[in-house]
A = this chain, B = another copy of it.
């Protein structure tokens, strides 16, 4: 396989930008995600690939719950903030205003809306693990266009 071709084709994939949040009794986590998609209509389910060396992955495993915050167009800075590694910057939610979903996941005040999911399965996938969650709560917070990877100019693929 030609690594340059592999990279070029994978970088043609189209992505939205989301902040995935989770919380258990002792801790919380939040990270920018673009490897995320709906994966079932009935029941409604969402899949997200989570870095194996992330802080949030253990919180997600113990809480069995996560929320997908849909970022609005224009919020590149928020995507950048939550894209940093916990081991470098610590708690990314510190000092930010946020609400809580019914199940206790942080909901960013800037989000267009969120879905809250209960984890139904996981699948190892190389340096990430896929979490599949059933959508159990949802709220549309405001009208607007979603932020896309293309708009941000960021790259997380290839």
- Chain A contacts to B: CB under 8 angstroms: 1-2, 5-6, 8-10, 12-18, 34-47, 49, 70, 112-115, 120-128, 130, 132, 134-140, 146, 148-149, 157-158
Known contacts A113-B8, A138-B1, A138-B5; is A128 also within 8 Å of B16 by CB? no
Complex CA–CA separation, A36 to B9 (angstroms): 14
- The reply to whether A128 and B9 form a contact with Cβ atoms under 8 Å apart is no
Complex CA–CA separation, A7 to B6 (angstroms): 34
Given contacts A39-B125, A42-B126, 10 further A-B contacts (CB under 8 A): A5-B113, A5-B139, A9-B115, A9-B138, A14-B146, A14-B148, A41-B126, A47-B49, A121-B123, A130-B132
User: Which of B1, B36, B42, B45 interacts with A37 by CB under 8 Å?
Assistant: B36
Number of copies of this kind of chain in the complex? 2
Q: Is the interface of A mostly helix, strand, loop or mixed?
A: strand
- The reply to whether A127 and B9 form a contact with Cβ atoms under 8 Å apart is no
Complex CA–CA separation, A70 to B14 (angstroms): 10
Complex CA–CA separation, A124 to B17 (angstroms): 25
User: Which of B1, B124, B125, B140 interacts with A9 by CB under 8 Å?
Assistant: B140
Q: What distance in Å separates the Cβ of A134 from its nearest Cβ neighbour in chain B? A: 8
Complex CA–CA separation, A158 to B18 (angstroms): 16
Query: A146 contacts which chain B residues (CB < 8 A)?
Result: 12-14
Query: A149 contacts which chain B residues (CB < 8 A)?
Result: 14
Q: What distance in Å separates the Cβ of A153 from its nearest Cβ neighbour in chain B? A: 15
